[in-house]
């Protein structure tokens, strides 16, 4: 029988924060694509559809006890690895990248779903192999392998942005679980060496993105065009912005990818610094609320799971905002609940559903 306490302890605060942020995102998509001549459904209505599907999935995820996920972790992980291999063999190639599987009515991006599965797998491992004094180098081989296999497959697509996010999420969870000081020092040295060596493994366009990040003006009409136009849009918003649907960079089509990677640039131009602070405040509130859910979780698995999902949300926001204002290279990372994308929205809402699940069951033992 469904416990009535679950309904009484439903986390309306988290749901409200997510709904408000997503609602503003839909309005922003309406503004950024208003001038498009489209034969099919407008972008913003598609986003509303995916948001509705995501909310339905999040609601369904609150019904069962999240603890069952611990026993499903290995199977789900193997399925995701299989999907990533399938992408490389039979995936749909767009703009030189093979990241999607055509499943008929939409394109599935397995690397997005993989982020959730990796969080579940790492949470299960850290829960079963807790180390009160912190993990040493030998004890980290298993979580390292859990992260490394999908990262290598995702890089092969190539999708450097998602691979980077998986590493950030996994590292955050490992740091939260505890790593011995000397082990952390060794890993930092090895990580630095890997970054230097990894330069020679990057594709030409990926190296070009880094060159552009360091000096966008070296090719203002080519590789530097995106970031230059984005910075102009953000800066031209000033304190109060130019007003809804009055952003010149977006409405006159100077700003590329304004419905996906650079959705925040559109918002910053129209609503200015003050409006941007509101969005940043909403994202901060969601992250802090996620940390609060992790703190109050009554199981170690739930705690690690909440930390991983919150880290996923946090790093998505940090990398995307860093991209649009020129602090990070452009790596194609969407802004959660804001950028258009079905798979991205579904992945985010799965994370929201799991956070709601953990929060609702904080009193159950």
Instruction: Please give the pLDDT value at position 338.
Output: 93
pLDDT tens track for 31-58: 988 777 666 788 899 999 999 999 999 9
Interacting residues of 176 by C-beta distance below 8 A, sequence separation 6+? 304, 307
pLDDT of residue 117: 95
Measuring CA to CA, how many Å separate 29 from each of 203, 245, 261, 297, 312?
32, 10, 12, 36, 23
- Stretches where the chain sits below pLDDT 50 are 1
Query: Which residue in this structure is represented by tokens 């000033």?
Result: 238
Residues 6+ apart with CB under 8 A from 344: 109, 112, 334, 336
Nearest Cα to Cα of residue 27 among 289, 190, 263, 232? 263
Q: What is the pLDDT of residue 1?
A: 45
pLDDT at residue number 311: 97
Q: Are 92 and 102 in contact (CB under 8 A)?
A: yes
Q: In what order do the strands lie in the sheet with 92-94?
A: 92-94, 97-102, 107-108
CA 228 to CA 214: how far, in whole Å?
12
pLDDT of 39 reads: 65
CA–CA gap between residue 232 and residue 125 (Å, rounded): 45
**Do the bridges between strand 107-108 and strand 97-102 make them parallel or antiparallel, or are there none, so unpaired?**
antiparallel
The pLDDT, as a whole number, for residue 149 is 95
Q: What is the pLDDT of residue 2?
A: 52
In whole angstroms, give the CA distance from residue 53 to residue 42. Answer: 17
Q: What is the pLDDT of residue 359?
A: 93
Domain ranges of the chain: 4-360
pLDDT in tens, 289-313: 999 999 999 899 999 999 999 999 9
The Cα 174–Cα 97 span in angstroms is: 30
Provide Rg for the chain, Cα atoms: 21
Give pTM, 2 decimals.
Answer: 0.91
- Could you give the CA distance from residue 188 to residue 21 in angstroms, rounded to a whole number? 36
């Amino acid at each position: 029988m469904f416990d009535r306490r679950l309904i009484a302890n439903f986390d309306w605060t988290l749901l409200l924060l997510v709904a408000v942020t997503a609602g503003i995102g839909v309005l922003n998509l309406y503004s950024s694509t208003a001038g498009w001549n489209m034969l099919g459904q407008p972008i913003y209505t598609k986003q509303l559809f995916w948001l509705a599907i995501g909310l339905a999935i999040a609601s369904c995820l609150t019904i069962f006890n999240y603890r069952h996920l611990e026993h499903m972790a290995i199977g789900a992980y193997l399925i995701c690895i299989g999907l990533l291999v399938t992408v490389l063999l039979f995936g749909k190639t767009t703009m030189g990248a093979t990241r999607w599987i055509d499943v008929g009515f939409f394109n599935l991006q397995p690397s997005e779903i993989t982020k959730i599965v990796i969080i579940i797998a790492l949470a299960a491992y850290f829960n079963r192999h807790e180390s009160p004094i912190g993990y040493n180098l030998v004890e980290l081989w298993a979580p390292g392998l859990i992260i490394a296999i999908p990262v290598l497959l995702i890089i092969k697509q190539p999708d450097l942005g998602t691979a980077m996010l998986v590493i950030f999420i996994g590292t955050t969870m490992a740091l939260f679980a505890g790593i011995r000081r000397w082990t952390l020092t060794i890993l930092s040295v090895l990580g630095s060496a890997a970054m230097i060596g990894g330069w020679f493994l990057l594709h030409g366009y990926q190296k070009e993105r880094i060159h552009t990040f360091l000096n966008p003006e070296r090719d203002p009409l080519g590789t530097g065009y995106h970031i230059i136009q984005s910075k102009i849009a953000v800066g031209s918003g000033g304190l109060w912005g130019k007003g809804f649907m009055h952003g010149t960079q977006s409405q006159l089509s100077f700003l590329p990818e304004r419905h996906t990677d650079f959705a925040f640039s559109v918002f910053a131009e129209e609503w200015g610094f003050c409006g941007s602070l509101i969005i940043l405040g909403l994202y901060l509130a969601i992250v802090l609320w996620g940390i609060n859910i992790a703190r109050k979780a009554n199981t170690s698995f739930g705690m690690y799971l909440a930390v991983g999902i919150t880290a996923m949300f946090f790093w998505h926001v940090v990398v995307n905002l860093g991209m649009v204002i020129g602090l990070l290279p452009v790596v194609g990372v969407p802004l959660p609940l804001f950028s258009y994308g079905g798979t991205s929205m579904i992945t985010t809402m799965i994370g929201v559903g799991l956070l709601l699940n953990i929060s609702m069951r904080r009193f159950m033992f």
